[in-house]
Amino acid sequence: MKARYKYRIYPNRVQITKLNQLFGCCRYVWNSTLAHCNELYSDGQKKPSYVDLTKQFITQAKKELVWLKEVASTPLQQSLKDLDQAYKNFFDSCTGKRKGIKVKPPKFKSRKSRQTARFVGGNYKIGQDKIYLPKVGKIKIVWSRKLPSEPSSLTITKDSANRYFASFVVEINPELLPKTNNSIGIDLGISTFATLSNGDKINAPKPLKNNLKKLAKFQRKFAKTELGSKRREKARILIAKLHAKVKDIRTDFLHKLSTDLVKKYDKIVLEDLNVSGMVKNCKLARAISDLGWRQFRTLTEAKCEKYGKEFRTISRWEPTSQKCSNCGFKGGKKELNVREWTCLNCGTFHDRDVNAAVNILNVIQPKTKVEIVEETVVEIPVQLSLFNEVAEGQRSIIFGRGGNVRLASQQILMMCQLALSFSSNLVCLNDGWESRAVSQSSVGRMSRAKSKSSNIRAAYL
């Protein structure tokens, strides 16, 4: 499997000038090619192939534009390859070949946003504390960790805060961590970032919320500056550096949390949240974006694949917050301010987030709890239904919804018999030595499929 290793580089002033020139040439090739393709599309013509675009916007353009010869040719070619791949993804998304979220057509690049240039093959060299780029020179690099193998490509990146990075694409082998035989369900929230099915709660640092006052101060200064002035650029860099700091704090927290979970548990279960739709809520958009739910899922899934662990998701429509994790009773939808509730069926007191996390895990690993008279609990991996065999002569009550079987005393059995005698919508079915009390509307359904039992009470005599 492939992975990307990212490092910080520190070019000097001359190298910064050359890198900015390289970024500008790559941006020019991308924008001019994109404008040409849009013009052909408006005239009803097809997009030219990658070879034709290379001849027109690199080979022939170098004859007219001398400054294109001052930079390496490989990043210019890779820029056209990226554009060709962007168009392919867009067309495949339109025709249905590419699954998932619809891909938008490629856009023009701006000099104020993130800049990239990619090198492949033998155009670059890796040294002990420096990397060599053609027509740029040897740039200082800080190796925070070793490269596991020979990289296949090198991408130089400049972010909005004027920081430079080098990222390598390498081939790695999965590392199998020792098995722990533990599984965990995770419920993501706003007040508490993650609630685990074992009861643990993890709070997020919320870096954007903690730096809102400083961000507002910098933005007010930026708004008072003149367009094109040096003070405006300094104010812009202050804002960009603050945003970079917020991003780094959030990414560091998500990396550490996902790594810790993957090391402790063999199976991790998450809910498939529609984050892109939830951020459209103007009241919760900033809070959700500050947490990084989608990035946490991406990191956890990638690390599970890397370390040989199992990652599962459940449907977003699963009523995890409405259902009792003890008996399976659905108590209906609850408001967001309701954080604790008591089950009306079994009387169990629940923390809303912990109960949801347990339900998330139970969707993948369902279990049935059997409560015996001596208050001992026996867990049975197979879910019991209404029609499981019971030893002859044993007095018991079976509650419907197939999740909770309770061996009851003589008094409870008499209460069930009284309920049968006073209720007009219940009938008694005799099957050999068994007697069942069910609703009249359920008789026909029970005869067709005995495995379904909803809101049924039966007395075994």
CA distances from 10 to 131, 246, 248 (A): 11, 21, 18
CA distances from 33 to 40, 53, 62 (A): 11, 7, 14
Distance CA 158, CA 135 (A): 18
Distance CA 445, CA 9 (A): 70
Alpha helices in 189-292 (DSSP H): 207-210, 212-223, 230-264, 275-278, 285-291
Q: CB-based contacts of 127: which residues, under 8 Å, 6+ apart?
A: 138
- Looking at 187, 252, 272, 301, which residue is catalytic? 187
- Looking at 84, 271, 290, 301, which residue is catalytic? 271
Distance CA 183, CA 265 (A): 5
Are 196 and 180 in contact, with CB atoms under 8 Å apart? no
Is 92 an active-site residue? no
Q: What are phi and psi of 135, to 5 degrees?
A: 65, 15
CB neighbours (10 Å) of residue 241?
Answer: 16
Q: Which residue has the tokens 């609630």?
A: 195
Q: How many residues does the chain have?
A: 461
189-220: string of b/e by CB count within 10 Å (b at 16+)? beeebbbbbeeebeebebbbeebeeeeeebee
- Looking at 84, 290, 301, 353, which residue is catalytic? 353
Is 271 an active-site residue? yes
DSSP 200-216: -EE----HHHHTHHHHH
Q: CB burial class (10 A; 0-12, 13-18, 19+) of residue 4?
A: exposed
**Segments of 322-393 assigned E as strands:** 340-342, 349-351, 368-371, 377-380
Q: CB burial class (10 A; 0-12, 13-18, 19+) of residue 289?
A: middle
Task: List, by residue number, the catalytic residues.
Answer: 187, 271, 353
